[in-house]
A and B are shown apart, each in its own frame.
Chain A
Amino acid sequence: MTEAGYVILSIDDLDRYEGATDEAPVLMPLRRRTGFRPFGVNCFSATAAGNHVIERHFERDGDEELYVVLRGAATFTVGEATFGAPVGTLVHVPPGTVREAVADDEYTVVLAVGAKPGEAWEPAAWEDFHIAFASRKSGDAAAARVLISEALGRHPNAWQGQFNAACFEALEGEADAAFEHLRRALELGPADVRDYVREDDDFTGLHADPRWPELAG
């Protein structure tokens, strides 16, 4: 932001943070870059044609989302419907509907806009965790821990943050820290955490630990 009260940039100026796997979408954090505060807005690209540009998910916290294809083309699946989406396509998805999109071209970029109706928007921790995991992947675990610590400070009572911190520490081989975060996540969201914990490959390194059955059993 300049003193002028406005900023001009290209989506090519945005940072690119790859996801947990090579096929996962690349986050291009527009909200974070501009400081836009009213609602969530980010760009996503894919690592290659055929890979996800929007990961398969639904919005469990009530956010409605709009996706806008800015470059290239994508194949969206929303609920049971699959359709091609060239540049200029708008896809609106209510919270509980599962959605995903695969890039048809390697240079595909999709803008994602989201917020929960009737509530003032606040940045969610997932952006920090996406960037933290990308930093870890590129070898900078220290920078990742700083981001995670800041995110947990802003969202101390969100099970998702504690769960993701547990994933991170498990991948780093820090079992004590991983179990501590997992224990806290279970306190905050027992039903959700039990749904995810057994199937998450990030915890494979913890399975032989005697504490694992106690928490995940």
Chain B
Amino acid sequence: MAGARRLTVAHVDELDRIMPDGFVWRPIRRHFGIRAFGVNAYTAPEVGAPIIEEHTESRLGHEEIYLVLRGKARFTIDGNEHELGPGELVFVRDPTLTRGAVSVADDTAVLALGGKPGAAHTVSAWEAMFAAVPAAREGRFDEAIAIHEEALVELPEHPALLYNLACMEARAGRHLDALLRLKRAVALEPEWAAIARKDPDFAEIRREPGFPS
């Protein structure tokens, strides 16, 4: 690849390898700074490993395409199982359908494309939350906080992002910031209060005045 700029070209195996929750996220959109559409890859090293987490797109209203780049994956879409190999894809139009996939071959890779019809693409908040996972796991909370704050510039009133940032701030010892952030998240979406009451990230501030009751 002599002569090509690093950020113009990458192989899927050169992308960051982030494990948010049992699956391996390869952040394509974030790597290239793509603004116009949602695109990521997921890889699984071995048979039986989850490759696409079970979820719906009800909240975001996204249509999605999952395309198998290599290996083989067993997709479960709305309860129906489909084994897909290289060059095969599933287009999930209905955002309410539950979808997920498990690798059924070693070294499987799946490309995921997604966006909301009729709307300019906005970067999903979960990308920042996933991207901050390695830093948070390794106790580099300032870095994790910076990733969240960068995302908040575009999504200043995103409850989950605010909540996650509050978690990072609480663990970093920034208790006042965490309380204010948590208060805002709960104001926007009251169900975060019950989650916060059981969240170990807030152990240090649970008895502080202003903690959601």
Contact = CB atoms under 8 A, between A and B. Distances in A.
Interface of A: 1, 4-12, 30, 34-39, 41, 63-64, 66, 68, 70-71, 76, 78, 80-93, 109, 111, 113-121
Main secondary structure of the interface of A (DSSP, over half): strand
Contacts, number: 160
Most chain B beta-carbon contacts within 10 A, residue among A10, A85, A114? A10
Nearest to B33: A92
11 contacts: A5-B92, A6-B99, A11-B67, A38-B117, A38-B119, A70-B67, A70-B87, A90-B9, A90-B28, A92-B7, A120-B119
Most chain B beta-carbon contacts within 10 A, residue among A6, A36, A84, A89? A6
Given A8-B90, A37-B63, A88 B117 contact: no
Interface residues of B, number: 54
A8 B82 contact: yes
A118 B121 CA distance: 7
Contacts of B87: 10-12, 70-71, 109
Interface string B159-186: 0000000000000000000000000000
Contact of B39 (A9, A37, A66): A66
Interface stretch (B17-25, B108-116, B134-142, B192-200): B108-116
A118 B192 CA distance: 30
A81 B12 CA distance: 20
Contacts of A93: 8
B9 A37 contact: no
Contacts of B37: 38-39, 66, 113-115, 121
A70 B1 contact: no
B121 A39 contact: yes
Contacts of B77: 4, 6
A78 B84 contact: no
Interchain residue pairs A-B with the least CB separation, the first 5: A38-B115, A5-B94, A117-B35, A37-B117, A115-B36
B211 to A, nearest CB: 39
A118 B32 CA distance: 16
B41 to A, nearest CB: 8
Given A6-B94, A64-B35, 15 more contacts: A5-B92, A6-B90, A6-B92, A8-B88, A11-B88, A34-B65, A38-B115, A38-B119, A83-B2, A87-B70, A114-B36, A116-B36, A117-B120, A117-B121, A118-B35
B202 to A, nearest CB: 36
A169 to B, nearest CB: 33
Contacts of B55: none
B80 interface: yes
B97 A6 contact: yes
